[in-house]
């Protein structure tokens, strides 16, 4: 099987768990995903099967949409409800105040990576330092919040939607939101509703996959928003050999089609921008 599956990841599964489960169902080891979700999270997980595993890097979208839930009054070591409570604090916030604070995060800012994450420092994952009780300087990265809005606020629970750049930790964003609200809070639920152009409404459960009730997306479908060049037989023969060709596309990469089939993805040749070189090949 070759193609892309949109999976609605269940809670308490790691992204790797999902891949392992699908590997058994589909009887293939050639399978990978394009964006890790924490075990507590549910939602869109893009899975590439067969020769489309070559697309994992390309389909790791720059922007993702989440619906996050905050439980006010407690802070945990993991920044979500799976961790140990390390702080409790009173809160007294109003809906308008929450909206103002959420809006203050629009645009670019610097975020500190949570200690309980798989980011490596000196070749070691941060969560390994945390489990060993060792201190380490947490890396910082620039994030971009494209859109953010309050969905609901009742008692000690805030629900919000956010469209954020790749690499943004919603747990850390929630921690920063609560600090601005003058209290503490932790993430109690997270749903990834969109990954790039992929929407949760088009995703399938693992049970759907087991029963055969699902649709496989083709390379042509998932690459439709990338500039496409139709090549002739002469150029196709060059592409077959992995040759550098004349660049006839405008962006950094382009999909090459021959006889209406995707045969390769080429990118700008770094030594000469008038030329293009192979990036991903799909010729058997």
Are 73 and 186 members of one domain?
yes
Q: Answer yes or no: is pLDDT of 275 > 90.
A: yes
Number of separate domains in the chain = 3
Are 121 and 234 members of one domain?
no
Residue with tokens 């799976």: 82
Nearest to 3, CA basis, from 52, 59, 61, 55: 52
DSSP-assigned states of every residue in 203-252: -B-HHHHHHT---PBPHHHHTTTS-EEE--HHHHHHHHTT--EE---SSS
Q: Answer yes or no: is pLDDT of 61 > 80.
A: no
Residue 187: give its domain's CATH number: 3.30.2350.10
Residue with tokens 């919603």: 170
Are 125 and 205 members of one domain?
no
Are 211 and 263 members of one domain?
no
Q: Give percent above pLDDT 70 in the chain.
A: 100
Residue with more model confidence, 82 or 61: 82
Position 105 scores a pLDDT of 98
pTM over 0.85: yes
Joined tokens for residue 110? 């610097």
Determine how many CB atoms are found less than 10 A away from the CB of residue 64.
25
Are 266 and 254 members of one domain?
yes
Q: If you average pLDDT over every residue of the chain, what do you get? A: 94
Q: How far are the Cα atoms of 14, 66, 88, 116, 155 from residue 74, in angstroms, in the given order?
A: 25, 22, 5, 17, 14
Determine how many CB atoms are found less than 10 A away from the CB of residue 234.
8
DSSP-assigned states of every residue in 168-182: --HHHHHHHHHHHTT
Residue 242: give its domain's CATH number: 2.30.130.10
Are 89 and 168 members of one domain?
yes
Are 176 and 82 members of one domain?
yes
Q: Answer yes or no: is pLDDT of 57 > 80.
A: yes
Q: At what angle do helices 95-103 and 170-180 cross, to 10 degrees?
A: 120
Are 176 and 249 members of one domain?
no
Q: Answer yes or no: is pLDDT of 59 > 90.
A: no
Q: Answer yes or no: is pLDDT of 160 > 90.
A: yes
For 102-117, the pLDDT digits (tens) are 999 999 999 999 999 8
- CA dist 238 and 150 (Å) reads 53
For 192-242, the pLDDT digits (tens) are 999 988 999 999 999 999 999 999 999 989 998 899 999 999 999 999 999
Residues 6 or more apart whose CB falls under 8 angstroms from that of 140 comprise 110, 111, 112, 113
DSSP-assigned states of every residue in 67-120: EEEEEETEEETTSBTTS-EEEE------HHHHHHHHHTT-EEEEEEPPSSS--E
Position 36 scores a pLDDT of 87
Are 68 and 191 members of one domain?
yes
Q: How far are the Cα atoms of 112, 243, 259, 275 from residue 266, in angstroms, in the given order?
A: 35, 10, 17, 10
Nearest to 30, CA basis, from 55, 11, 9, 7: 55
Reported confidence tier of residue 44, pLDDT bands at 50, 70, 90: very high
Q: Which domain holds residue 29?
A: 3-61+197-221
Are 161 and 203 members of one domain?
no
For 74-92, the pLDDT digits (tens) are 999 999 999 999 999 999 9
Joined tokens for residue 8? 């609605």
Reported confidence tier of residue 15, pLDDT bands at 50, 70, 90: very high
Position 16 scores a pLDDT of 93
Position 106 scores a pLDDT of 98
* Residues classed as catalytic: 38
Reported confidence tier of residue 99, pLDDT bands at 50, 70, 90: very high
Residues 6 or more apart whose CB falls under 8 angstroms from that of 223 comprise 55, 58, 255, 262, 265
Q: Answer yes or no: is pLDDT of 283 > 90.
A: no
Reported confidence tier of residue 35, pLDDT bands at 50, 70, 90: confident
Q: Answer yes or no: is pLDDT of 165 > 90.
A: yes
Are 168 and 82 members of one domain?
yes
Residues 6 or more apart whose CB falls under 8 angstroms from that of 173 comprise 68, 105, 111, 143, 145, 162, 164
Are 110 and 168 members of one domain?
yes
Residues 138 and 116: beta-carbon distance below 8 Å: no
Q: Answer yes or no: is pLDDT of 121 > 80.
A: yes
């Amino acid at each position: 099987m070759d193609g892309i599956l949109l999976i609605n990841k269940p809670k308490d599964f790691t992204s790797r768990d999902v891949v392992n489960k699908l590997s058994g169902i589909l009887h293939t080891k050639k399978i990978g995903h394009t964006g890790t979700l924490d075990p507590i999270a549910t939602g869109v997980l893009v899975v590439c099967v067969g020769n489309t595993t070559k697309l994992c890097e390309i389909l790791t979208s720059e922007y993702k949409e989440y619906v996050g839930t905050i439980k006010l009054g407690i802070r945990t070591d993991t920044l979500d409800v799976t961790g140990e409570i390390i702080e409790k604090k009173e809160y007294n916030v109003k809906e308008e105040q929450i909206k103002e604070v959420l809006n203050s995060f629009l645009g670019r800012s610097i975020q500190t990576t949570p200690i309980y994450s798989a980011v490596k420092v000196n070749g070691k994952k941060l969560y390994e330092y945390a489990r060993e009780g060792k201190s380490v300087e947490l890396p910082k990265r620039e994030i971009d919040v494209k859109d953010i809005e309050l969905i609901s606020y009742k008692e000690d629970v805030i629900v919000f939607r956010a469209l954020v750049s790749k690499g943004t930790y919603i747990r850390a964003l929630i921690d920063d939101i609560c600090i601005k609200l003058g209290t503490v809070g932790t993430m109690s639920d997270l749903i990834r509703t969109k990954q790039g152009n992929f929407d949760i409404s088009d995703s399938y459960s693992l049970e759907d996959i087991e029963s055969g009730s699902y649709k496989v997306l083709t390379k042509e479908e998932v690459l439709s928003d990338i500039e496409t060049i139709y090549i002739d037989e002469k150029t196709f023969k060059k592409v077959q050999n992995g040759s550098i060709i004349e660049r006839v596309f405008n962006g950094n990469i382009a999909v090459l089609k021959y006889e209406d089939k995707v045969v390769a993805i080429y990118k700008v040749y770094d030594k000469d921008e008038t030329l293009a070189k192979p990036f991903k090949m799909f010729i058997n």
